[in-house]
Structure 1
Amino acid sequence: AAMRNGTCFIASGSGAQDYDAAQCLSLRAGARNVLLIGDSHAAHLYAGLTKAFPDVHFLQANASGCMPLGRFAGPERCTQVISKAFDFAAAHGKQLDGVIISARWKKGDARRIGDTIARIGSAVPVTIVGPSVEYRLPLPKILAQAWPDQSGGSSASFRGEPGPGLDKAMRVAVERAGAHYISMEEVICPGGTCRVWAGQHIPLQFDEGHLTTQASHLIVAQIAPQFRFR
């Protein structure tokens, strides 16, 4: 529910017809308007963004498993929702105060991100949020297996892809394209040690990579000063 599943975030079990463009892609007069584009790794930021920026109206176009890259070949659910978001950003750039793009970035995506940023144009500030930390098992399961050790030390052995290398490559490509980059790797794994708790007995992630609602509040609050809005 915190991702607005079924209206502004379309999960894999839903279709493009379930996306409510009238609600999710509408500008609000008198407010700063910022568009959040991407897959479920964009949707898990929504709760934190709305809490960190209560004066901002967030438009949202998210579809599970749908990469916001290139010309969005793939299922209709992806091509329609994501393409609609980029077309909206290009057409309403002067009315938007910012665009945020986040996704489950993979190896090779850094080579394509420049063309994606160019598709939006230069009329609106663009922020790319880098890859989140992922594990080979759901984080709650890793923590439960390690109990009563609450340090999360064993979680490092379960780290999956992507890793710090992709984070660095994405930063270089994004900044070369003239957009702003925010590293999730740096905020979740400061100094190379990844945090695993969002609060007492509340894991940072509810599966292999998606932030819990509490973690969305926590992480976005920390990276909030890095977003570029007008």
Structure 2
Amino acid sequence: FYLLPTRIWELALGAMLMLRKPPVPAGRLAVELIGLAGFALIAFGFVMISDSDPFPGYNALFPCIGTALLIYAGQDNADRPAPVATRVLRLAPLVWVGLISYSLYLVHWPINSFVHYLSLKTVGVPTIVAMTVASFALAAFSWKYIEQPFRQKRAYTAPLPIFAFSATAIALLCAGGLAGALGNGFPQRFPDFSTERIRVGDWRNGICFNENGTRIEDWNLADCTRTTGFATNVLLWGDSFAAHYVSGLEPNAQKIQANVIQYTYAGCPPDLTYFSYARPACTRFNERALSIIRDANIQAVILSGRWTDYQARGFDGLQKTIDRLREMGVKIYTVGQSPEFIADVQKIAFFVKREHAATTSWPMAMDPGINARVLPFTKGADFIDPLTYLCDSAGCSYADAKTNEFLYFDYGHFSSAGATLAISKYWPSFATSDKVAKANRQFTAAGAP
């Protein structure tokens, strides 16, 4: 599912070793070091590459070059002792895993996907063990009874039968996909399931909430001031998990008692050190926040983000951002991670209904200790943990127990009802706060309506 130009070099690396067969150094020590270097590069990639790193890309060099070095060190060992790396790879369990590896690659993901889809919960260790055993068993079966027979010269492995079978299979898959698309996914399979239009509110996409780096400059103070008429100016800065609060601002305006200014960009945390190849404009967006704070006479900043997305990188950048804001003399609030579920809340509600369970609560599909990991990097800011207000030991509410109105419109972004509830429960009030400096000039002088 990656285009050929970005991946062909990986295949070419192995092909070069097979076709060119570069000579192995004569010295035993050099061969041993090459093999160990291969192991080290693979181990480095396994430990250091995270889901927040771009891949494929230069990160693919570590496992690919490591594998190439192992193959290189292990060739032409007939007339001399095999290096340690080769002897390790010759161990029977590793050889067996290597034999079934392609079948294992094919079967493990469908098993994983169906288990998660059917449970709609984060699976526990026993289920993970069961999935692993099932994957290995099915892979071994596939290797022995499908993969191996096709490697042998038989009537059905001749080119004509192979191409005829492949063409038929492709045609059937295309027909099935087309039927599903035209039939809208065959909703009659679930006659008691119906989606409803959930109120989300206006995030002012393209101006106050950006998903495209080319429109960052379209942000302006007048359009993005979401509540007005108060003495204190507050900047709401973050990604979509900051933007999902805006539909609850107006209903809670008298509680907040501040002019709340929205400054949000999808996939871009409020972190001045953050850089992403997927969001290169994020750096420019975050740097602009500092000038907005100065020019709009901001007295308080609320930092909010989908912290589960960024924990692999660490939160040192968040602390550095808070330190920078403190130097500017503003009051800082950091809002922790709000609940995330394994699926869209409407699917969860349907699942609960089918199970005849009388609940509007469901387990989180994330690390419940995420906010405890963020907290140490918020020195100098007031930290707010949404999970303590929205969840209990049984789970988190995905709908209002009295009205059945959904509190989220997908797996974790607040609906209008959810945002209104969340702000009423844990957002700060700036009505009589001595910690927030009062504006030295009228808010309208900064350009707000």
TM-score interval for Structure 1 and Structure 2 normalised by the shorter chain? 0.7 to 0.9
Q: Distance in 2 between matches of 1:105 and 1:197?
A: 23
- Matched position secondary structure for 1:62: strand
State the TM-score, normalizing by the size of structure 1: 0.82
What letter is aligned with 1:41? F
Q: Distance in 2 between matches of 1:52 and 1:7?
A: 23
**Is this contact kept in 2: 1:10–1:18, CA < 8 A?**
no
Q: 1:110 aligns with which of 315, 319, 332?
A: 315
Structure 1 gap segments, 5+ residues each: none
Q: Distance in 1 between matches of 2:380 and 2:209?
A: 28
- Matched position secondary structure for 1:160: coil
Residues 40-88 of structure 1: per-residue CA shift (max 9 Å, x gap): 1000112223332344211111011112213332335423333211332
Q: 1:216 aligns with which of 384, 399, 419?
A: 419
> Is 2:207 aligned against 1:3?
no
**After the TM superposition, which residues 32-181 of structure 1 pair with which residues of structure 2 at under 5 Å, given as runs?**
32-54=232-254, 55-74=257-276, 75-89=279-293, 91=294, 95-106=297-308, 107-108=311-312, 109-122=314-327, 123-147=329-353, 149-152=357-360, 155-156=362-363, 159-161=364-366, 163-174=367-378, 177-181=379-383
Residues 74-126 of structure 1: per-residue CA shift (max 9 Å, x gap): 3354233332113322x359x32310010000324433321111121241110
Structure 2 gap segments, 5+ residues each: 1-200, 437-449
CA distance 1:71–1:87, shift in 2 (3 Å): farther
Higher strand share: 1
**Is this contact kept in 2: 1:63–1:82, CA < 8 A?**
no
Q: Distance in 1 between matches of 2:212 and 2:233?
A: 27
**Structure 1 vs Structure 2 CA RMSD:** 2.9
CA displacement at 1:17 relative to structure 2: 4.0
* Structure with higher RCO (Cα < 8 A, 6+ apart): 1
**Is this contact kept in 1: 2:207–2:215, CA < 8 A?**
no
Q: Distance in 2 between matches of 1:61 and 1:224?
A: 17
**Is this contact kept in 2: 1:50–1:56, CA < 8 A?**
no
What letter is aligned with 2:389? V
**Is this contact kept in 1: 2:230–2:258, CA < 8 A?**
no
State the TM-score, normalizing by the size of structure 2: 0.45
Q: Distance in 2 between matches of 1:79 and 1:20?
A: 18
